[in-house]
Structure 1
Amino acid sequence: MVHRLTWFEPARAEDKLREFFITALIDMSATLTLQDQQGKYICITTLPARWMLKPGVEPSDEAIFGPELGTRLGELKAGLVKPGDRAELEIEAGDDTFFEFRCRMVEMGNHEINLMTVVLDRTEDRRRERLLRALLREVSHRSKNLLAIIQSIASQTARYSGTLDAFLGKFRGRLHALSQSQDLITDSSWRGAYFRDLLKQQVDRYVQENGSLVHVSGEDVMLTPNASLHIGLALHELVVNAVSHGDFLQRRRPIEVSCERFQTDAGPQIRIRWVEPVGNINKEALSAASSARFGSTVLERVVPSSVNGRATHQLDDKELRYELVFPQEIFE
């Protein structure tokens, strides 16, 4: 027998077909009911556990689904008259569960008109929709923050650049650093980025062949997305300044970088240190590079403010030292 793309072999026993359909309905988290034109129940399959029909009770919408939902279903079904008429109803059944009722008038093989209702558990669908909406809101929020950072970088870089070429060179480098940090954040499902990964990105980009001259010690702290973006930018400025104005490459004197977590009365704190040796170089040029420039603004003002911390940035005859201390943020 073939009917609307449905086929089965008449010779097969009905019990096998019944078992097949009931198993399929259970796997689909679906319930199927059939009523005659007067509303009398003919068949009920795989009723959800929350709705029970007591033994000896005549099936009805109110007896199965309770007075409130039973009344709503009765009113919905009353509007279905001829074959093809259909209506849908979605309800929140409590305990954060959702069900969809699809009612339709159908004409059976004997020309008898019946009312078929399919009940689908939509709980997981609705939870996924809520999660997707939350993620979209988070994307929008983070995108706005990222655009604000980019706007600030562009504005301040232009302010401290004498020529268009100088602006483009510095801006592209800072934008790339920001992009790399964002990649780490995205790869971690927006949890953040590890400190050593942020440092490695900048070392690999600017001193890849001499990466052994940057020594890192301490704890590999997972930083929140906000902290990751700004600290990644600070590390970019420190590495670029070291390569452009320092002499650690020529003298093969390593830079010491550390990250540690410690407790205070105000809660856990994170301390990041950058200690760069300096030798017989032009101190005035190095001092000019590390002060009164956007790089200095990033290190001394932008980054500490963005992570609610404090920073020191000092240069003497022996070393350039940068230290950033900020509270450890709580992951959302």
Structure 2
Amino acid sequence: MTHRLTWFEPRRADGQLREFFIAALLDIGASLTLQDADGHYICITSLPPRWPLAAGQEPSDDSIFGPEIGARLKDLKAGLEQPGDGANLEVEPGDDTVFEFRCRLIRMSPDYVCLMTVLVDRTEERRRERLLRALLREVSHRSKNLLAIIQSIAFQTARYSGTLDQFLAKFRGRLHALSTSQDLVTDSSWRGAYFHDLVRQQMEKYVPETANLVHVTGENVLLSPNAALHIGLALHELVVNAISHGDFVSRRAIIEIGCSRLEGPDGEEIRVTWTEPLSPGLTTDLANTKAGRFGSTVLERVVPASVNGRVLHRLEGGSVYYELIFPAELHD
């Protein structure tokens, strides 16, 4: 037998078909009710557990769903006049749950019209929608922050570059440093980046064959997305300066990079350090060229301000020493 888009074998017993439809409704998490033209319930299947049927009581909208939802359902159903008319109602009965009622008048036979209501649990779907909206807002917020960082880097790099080639070389390097840090943040589902991974990402482009010259010690702290981006940028500036002006590679000198927690005046803090040994003759030259470079501005002003921290950057004792301390509760 065929009815519109539905087919079933005429010889199949009604009981078997009824069991099939009830099992299917249970599987998809939907409930089905059927009422006659006077509003009396004819059939109710697989109601959600929060709405149990009272023993010995004739079911009605009020007795099943309560007076508030029942009144809304009766008003909705009263507006259906012709077979084929339908209307939906979404309710939030409590416990962070969401249900949708889909009411429709259907013609069962030429002289017999019934009201069918499909009840669907939309809780998980609505939770996913809220989560997606929150994620989209977060992505938009972080994208704006990232664009602001890129704009600042571009402006300041241009300010301290004498030629277009110098600008392109420096800007590409800084942009690459930012992108590698962002990759770590994205891979962690925006939780941040671990310090050891951040160091490895920033070092491997410049010292791939001499990784043994960079020693990382201390705790492998999970840095927040904002801290990861800016500390990654600081590490980039430090290693570029070491390659450009230092001689640690030729002397096989060891750069020490550390990360540790300490107790500050206002709570736990994170300390990141960089110690780079220099040849005695290079210290004075580096001190003379340090002022007025954007790299120093990044290390001494941009990064500390971005993580609400304080910095110590000095050239003395035959080494470059950089120390950044910032609150752990904000960036852990």
TM-score for both structures, normalised by structure 1: 0.95
Alpha-carbon shift at residue 58 of structure 1 (Å): 1.5
Distance 1:98 1:282 in 2: 69
- Residue 46 of structure 1: CA displacement? 0.7
Q: 1:97 to 1:107 in 2, by over 3 A?
A: same
1:39 CA drift (Å): 1.3
| Cα pair 2:22 2:46 within 8 Å, conserved | yes
Residue 330 and residue 16 in structure 1: after superposition, are their counterparts in 2 closer, same or farther (change >3 A)?
Answer: farther
SS of the aligned residue for 1:11 comes to coil
- Provide the residue aligned with 1:278 in structure 2: 278
What residue in structure 2 maps to residue 39 of structure 1?
Answer: 39
Q: Is the 8 A contact 1:221 1:259 kept in 2?
A: yes
- Structure 1 partner of 2:72: 72
Deviation, structure 1 residue 330: 4.5
2:209 is paired with a residue whose SS is: helix
- Deviation string, structure 1 residues 26-72 (Cα, Å, up to 9, x no partner): 22221100111121111000111222221221221112111221111
Match of 1:25 in 2: 25
SS in 2 for 1:208: coil
**Preserved CA contact (<8 Å) 2:246 2:282:** no
Asked whether the equivalents of residues 221 and 259 of structure 2 are also in contact (C-alpha less than 8 Å), the reply is yes
Task: Indicate the SS of the match to 2:205.
Answer: helix
> Residues 277-300 of structure 1, C-alpha deviation per residue, up to 9 Å, x if partnerless?
101544444224433211101111
Residue 89 of structure 1 deviates from its aligned partner by: 0.8
**Contact 1:191/1:331 (8 A) holds in 2:** no
Report the more deviating stretch, 260-269 or 245-254.
Answer: 260-269
Rounded to whole Å, the distance in 2 between the matches of 1:317 and 1:68 is: 78
For the residues of structure 2 that align with 1:232 and 1:91, how far apart are their CA atoms? 48
Whether 1:150 and 2:150 are equivalent positions in the alignment is: yes
- Whether 1:305 and 2:305 are equivalent positions in the alignment is yes
Deviates more, 1:233-242 or 1:110-119: 110-119
Residue 196 (structure 2) aligns with? 196
Confirm whether residue 55 of structure 1 aligns to residue 55 of structure 2.
Answer: yes
The number of residues matched between the two structures is 332
- Matches of 1:202 and 1:223, distance apart in 2: 15
Mapping of 1:1-332 within 5 angstroms? 1-109=1-109, 112-330=112-330
Q: CA deviation at 1:246?
A: 0.3
Distance 2:130 2:139 in 1: 14
* Amino acid paired to 1:272: V
SS in 2 for 1:275: strand
Aligned AA (1:8): F
Q: Distance in 1 between matches of 2:20 and 2:128?
A: 29
Deviations 1:142-188 (A, max 9, x none): 11111111111111111111111111111111011111111100000
Q: Percentage identity across aligned positions?
A: 67
| 8 A Cα contact 2:227 2:331, kept in partner | no
2:126 is paired with a residue of what secondary structure?
helix
The question of whether the paired residues in 2 share the 8 Å contact of 1:246 and 1:281 is answered with: no
Q: State the Cα distance separating 1:241 from its structure 2 match.
A: 0.4
**CA shift digits 1:290-316 (9 cap, x unpaired):** 332111011111111111111111112
TM superposition shift of 1:129 = 1.1
Distance 1:24 1:265 in 2: 63
Stretches of structure 2 lacking an aligned partner (at least 5 in a row): none
CA distance, structure 2, for counterparts of residue 291 and residue 329 of structure 1: 33
CA RMSD of aligned residues (A): 1.6
Q: Which amino acid aligns with 1:64?
A: I
CA drift at 1:112: 1.9
SS at match of 1:125: helix
Check conservation: 1:89, 1:100, Cα contact below 8 A. Answer: yes
Question: How far apart, CA to CA, are the structure 1 residues paired with 2:102 and 2:62?
Answer: 17
Counterpart Cα distance in 2 of 1:143 and 1:288: 38
Give the letter aligned to residue 92 of structure 2.
E
Q: TM-score, normalised by structure 2?
A: 0.95
- In the alignment, the residues of structure 1 paired with residue 80 and residue 314 of structure 2 have an alpha-carbon distance, to the nearest angstrom, of 81
Structure 2 Cα separation of the partners of residues 13 and 288 of structure 1: 96
Residue aligned with 1:206, SS: coil
CA distance in structure 1 between the aligned counterparts of 2:206 and 2:280, rounded to whole angstroms: 22
For residues 296 and 81 of structure 1, what CA distance do their matches in structure 2 show? Answer: 76
Structure 1: runs of 5 or more not aligned: none
Cα distance between partner residues in 2 of 1:284 and 1:45: 86
